[in-house]
Amino acid sequence: MGSVGKHMEKTRVLVVGATGYIGKRIVMACLAEGHETYVLQRPEIGLDIEKVQILLSFKKLGARLVEASFSDHESLVSAVKLVDVVVSAMSGVHFRSHNILLQLKLVEAIKEAGHVKRFLPSEFGMDPSRMGHALPPGRETFDQKMEVRHAIEAAGIPHTYVLGACFAAYFAGNLSQMETLLPPKKKVNIYGDGNVKVVFADEDDIAKYTAKTLNDPRTLNKTVCIRCPENVLTQIELVQIWEKLTGNELEKTNIAAKDFLANIEQMEIPHQAGIGHFFHIFYEGCLTDYEVGEDEEASSLYPDVKYKRMDDYLRMFL
């Protein structure tokens, strides 16, 4: 088949976790990319009207709904047999639903279907292969993601891991403050000296890169790191962008690492997990303490994606 035929043929993609926070963006990006997009519809949805309406809106845009359940292996195998690529966006955060290990059932189905050209498991954040030292209970996310990776690799399933950035809605709009998603009005907490480099990304851009990489031969069995150069910022730089936009200087309080971790044992588990993750990102710099080559960095692989800069992102809060 010549290259013309190759481009005529659409990649068929199944998105699992499609009604979720990142999942729904991945569905939209796959449709925009021209992929033949299938969406897993689980009977467990019950009376969750928001999820049902999201699924119907996808259908209207041309996605195909496929019924399957994680408690019915055959139904998963049948769903997977319809496509070339499977993308999972199952939730892995403690304060929402923590479903990372459900993906092992997906790995079993892909293994049995036997023809899937690529699987992209739910990653999108810190690189779990570098987080062996992470604090409990937050490390559970990384341990489970590694368990899924080991299963994928042991089964010889072709894969791509997309990761490397803080979701802007959780980390940028609030100037990286915990327990809020909006920018502070007067005071801002600065982690340490605020000079550790962090990577931010608009969630829509994460989805666009995912949709582009899922059938790219260059990224087969590789990790794609989202580290858009203009969005590699320290917390102080992020705060300064906001101050410049508002013309209003915030009162800063520097929090030493030991104080940040001080009462962690007394907190609820989801909060403990959040504290741990913030610690690794803002004190240790776990998103930027390793080199990423141009052949594995999303914005250099896909320069046609005009990724959103954080000054632009913060404008919507004005």
**Which residues are known catalytic residues?**
145
Angle between helices 139-154 and 103-113 (to 10 degrees): 10
Residues 6+ apart with CB under 8 A from 44: 69, 70
Among 241, 239, 230, which residue's Cα sits nearest to residue 202?
Answer: 230
Q: Which long-range contacts (CB under 8 A, 24 or more apart) does 51-55 make?
A: 51/19, 54/18, 54/19, 54/24, 55/18, 55/19
Angle at 142 between CA 168 and CA 296, to 5 degrees: 60
Whether 192 and 142 have beta carbons less than 8 Å apart is answered as no
Q: Measuring CA to CA, how many Å separate 218 from each of 88, 148, 157, 297, 300? A: 20, 22, 16, 11, 12
How far is the C-alpha of 237 from the C-alpha of 256, rounded, in Å?
18
